[in-house]
Amino acid sequence: MQRISLSKVFIYSIAFLVTGAVFAQEDEEGDIDTERLIIVKPYSPTVSDAFKVKQMPVINDSTERRKKAVVYDIFSFPVASTFTPAKGKAEGVTRKAMPRLYDNYASLGFGNYSNVAAEFYSTINLDRGKEVSIGLVHNSSQGGIDEARLDDKYYDTGVEIGYKTQGRDLTWGVDAGFQHQLYNWYGIPDYFQPDETELAQMDPQHSYYAATVGAHLDMEEGVFDGAKLKYRRFGDNFGSGENHVKWISDLEFPVVDQVIGTEVSFDFVNGNFDKGYENLPVTNQYGFFNMGIAPSIQIGNEDLSVNLGAQLVYSMDIENEDNNLFLYPRVSGSYRVSGDYFIAYAGAEGELKQNTYYEFAQQNPFVSPTLSVAPTDKQYDIYLGGKGKFSDHASYNIRGSYTSEANKPMFLHNPYVEASAPKEGYENFNSFGVVYDDVTTLSFFGELQFSLNKDVSLRINGTYNNYSADEQEEVWNLPELEGSLALDYQITEKWFAGASVFAVGERDVFLDFQGLSNTYQTKGKMDAYIDANLRVGYKINDRLSLFLRGNNLLTENYRPWLGYPTQGIQVMGGVSYQFDW
């Protein structure tokens, strides 16, 4: 679009008006003729200069700047609807049904040698977070070992009942139990050949009983974390008796960003044996009271974990009026060198272990009721190892350790002393005593675990021990080599099987025979042995199953203790049933 200058338009307009006025005046006089004037001028367009606006407009309208507050309320109310969405259906995934878990279990089996095995466990839910548990275990045999020259029957029965209540911040419970065991000192070494008259005069039977009560407490908040208390009364049919009380409590003290955990323990044991060995009327009494405190702190990160601590124990020998103070390290740590594939770990730990007549009888039921009971000073156990996995289906653990123990107990075969006085059942070259010595042990342990799939698992481990005793000629009845294998196989949904193998190497033993016509002292070795076991089961339904077990399948009447052959091939069949009340 073309633009024309306003000045030119103004000039043209003035000229046009003046001319018109002149012509009008002449027309009034009648002397001027009317004519049309045409002015022709060429068009010359121009462009004005462009400029930028240098100021922004200011809006003074207050209604444009003020934000008004909005006040609103939400009223929720149900809306009736007849629309029902269609349910989705998963496709392409097949899941195996989870087995149902029952609160009660019972099992009963019978086998050769008149062996009987029974188990019963039950949990009764009284209320929310409150329950009562009952357990019963029984194993017995009427004997029948061909090489045994005395009665070799035994039975072991234990029953336990407990009450537990669990809350959000507090869990506590109490329990009580009773155990009765009967054994026979039937093991007479081949070095001693009594005649039938002497055998008929021997009464090898002895029995143990134990009654326990206990309580435990766990708290989620506060400095006090939890505690455990247990009392056990143990005795036998020879007048021996023992009381053992053990209390352990855990405390936690937050300091800055760390938590210092502290274990406080009290361990008291006292007991007596009415007779000494060789029918001597000597009363052997013992009593120890150990008080310990063990603070520790744990530091680390995702790959490194270190636990720094120590234990201080004050021990009182009540009978001998002798008191001692012990300090033990409690240091351990681990480092992930290569994730879960290799984790290095190390530590140094020690403790004052309270030995008891009960523990000796459980390890070796053929001990005589004439023992010497005293604690073991485990000065330190320094270890270094590595663990991890080769793949998702295979893992390993290897460890080397060096241990120093003062007053370590070892089982030593009791001597035979020929005498005219009536003998007790354990004085016929057929029982064991306890001897103490300072022992150092260099040990190497290795273990492999395989989970070939969800139905097959295998575990193999082995230990090598190199012992060194201070005063004793050898370390008695402790093997250098030990190993085990465990296999579990879920064959089908109904069939399952398992196998276990235990291997024990040679052990050093000592025989002290003092007879009227033959007296000797000699050192020997017990043969190594392997115990192989197999079990097979069939699941009739979720509740009822049948099982068949075979023990000591290598047909070897091996001797775990000098003079004590075991039962040969043992076969047991039975049934197990699980249910709810």
Total residues belonging to the chain: 581
Whether residue 24 is found in the same domain as residue 133: no
Whether residue 297 is found in the same domain as residue 390: yes
Whether residue 142 is found in the same domain as residue 264: yes
Q: Is residue 536 part of a domain?
A: yes
H or E stretch at 547: strand 544-551
The pLDDT value given to residue 290: 97
Q: Is residue 188 part of a domain?
A: yes
Whether residue 39 is found in the same domain as residue 126: no
Q: CB count, 10 Å around CB of 323?
A: 11
Q: What is the largest CA-CA distance in the chain?
A: 194
Of 520, 554, 564, which is closest to residue 534 (Cα–Cα)?
Answer: 554
The pLDDT value given to residue 181: 97
Environment class of residue 361 by beta-carbon count within 10 Å: exposed (0-12), middle (13-18) or buried (19+)? buried
The pLDDT value given to residue 21: 40
Whether residue 37 is found in the same domain as residue 174: no
CB-side neighbour CA atoms (13 Å) of 525: 9
Q: Is residue 70 part of a domain?
A: no
The pLDDT value given to residue 146: 87
Answer whether 448's CB lies under 8 Å from 394's CB.
Answer: yes
Q: How far is 407 from 437, CA to CA, in rounded Å?
A: 5
Q: How far is 571 from 550, CA to CA, in rounded Å?
A: 5
Q: How far is 188 from 516, CA to CA, in rounded Å?
A: 18
The pLDDT value given to residue 11: 43
Whether residue 169 is found in the same domain as residue 21: no
Whether residue 30 is found in the same domain as residue 144: no
Q: How far is 569 from 525, CA to CA, in rounded Å?
A: 24
Residues 6+ apart with CB under 8 A from 519: 513
Q: How many domains, the chain?
A: 2
Q: How far is 481 from 85, CA to CA, in rounded Å?
A: 69
**How does strand 456-469 pair with strand 432-453?**
antiparallel
Whether residue 346 is found in the same domain as residue 480: yes
Q: Is residue 54 part of a domain?
A: no
Of 258, 246, 252, which is closest to residue 219 (Cα–Cα)?
Answer: 252
pLDDT by position in tens, the chain (length 581): 444 444 444 444 444 443 444 334 444 444 444 455 454 555 455 545 444 444 455 454 444 455 555 555 544 445 444 445 555 555 555 555 666 778 899 999 999 999 999 999 999 998 888 999 999 999 999 999 988 999 999 999 999 999 999 888 889 999 999 999 999 999 988 877 888 888 888 899 999 999 999 999 998 888 888 999 999 999 999 999 999 999 999 998 888 778 899 999 999 999 999 877 775 555 689 999 999 999 999 998 889 999 999 999 999 999 988 999 999 999 999 999 999 999 999 999 999 999 999 999 999 999 999 999 999 999 999 999 999 999 989 999 999 999 999 999 999 999 887 766 678 889 888 999 999 999 999 999 999 999 988 899 999 999 999 999 999 999 999 999 999 999 999 999 999 999 999 999 999 999 887 765 666 778 899 999 999 999 999 999 999 999 999 999 987 889 999 999 999 999 999 999 999 88
CB-side neighbour CA atoms (13 Å) of 543: 5
Tokens in use for 164? 């537990």
CATH of the domain at 127: 2.40.170.20
Q: CB count, 10 Å around CB of 412?
A: 18
Answer whether 192's CB lies under 8 Å from 513's CB.
Answer: yes
Q: Please provide residue 322's backbone torsions phi and psi, each rounded to the nearest 5 degrees.
A: -125, 125
Q: CB count, 10 Å around CB of 525?
A: 11
Of 518, 520, 469, 479, which is closest to residue 502 (Cα–Cα)?
Answer: 479
Q: How far is 289 from 266, CA to CA, in rounded Å?
A: 7
Of 446, 438, 489, which is closest to residue 464 (Cα–Cα)?
Answer: 446
**How does strand 130-141 pair with strand 154-166?**
antiparallel
- Using DSSP, state whether 362 is helix, strand or coil: helix
pTM across the whole model: 0.81
Q: Is residue 60 part of a domain?
A: no
Q: How far is 520 from 545, CA to CA, in rounded Å?
A: 55
Residues 6+ apart with CB under 8 A from 178: 158, 159, 160, 209, 210, 211, 212
Q: Is residue 301 part of a domain?
A: yes
Whether residue 162 is found in the same domain as residue 32: no
The pLDDT value given to residue 129: 87
Whether residue 39 is found in the same domain as residue 144: no
Whether residue 364 is found in the same domain as residue 468: yes
Whether residue 37 is found in the same domain as residue 136: no
Q: How far is 437 from 434, CA to CA, in rounded Å?
A: 10
Q: Is residue 107 part of a domain?
A: no
The residue behind tokens 């009223």 is 75
- Domain assignment of residue 341, given as a range: 122-579
Q: Is residue 276 part of a domain?
A: yes
Query: How far does Cα 27 stand from its chain's mean position?
Result: 133
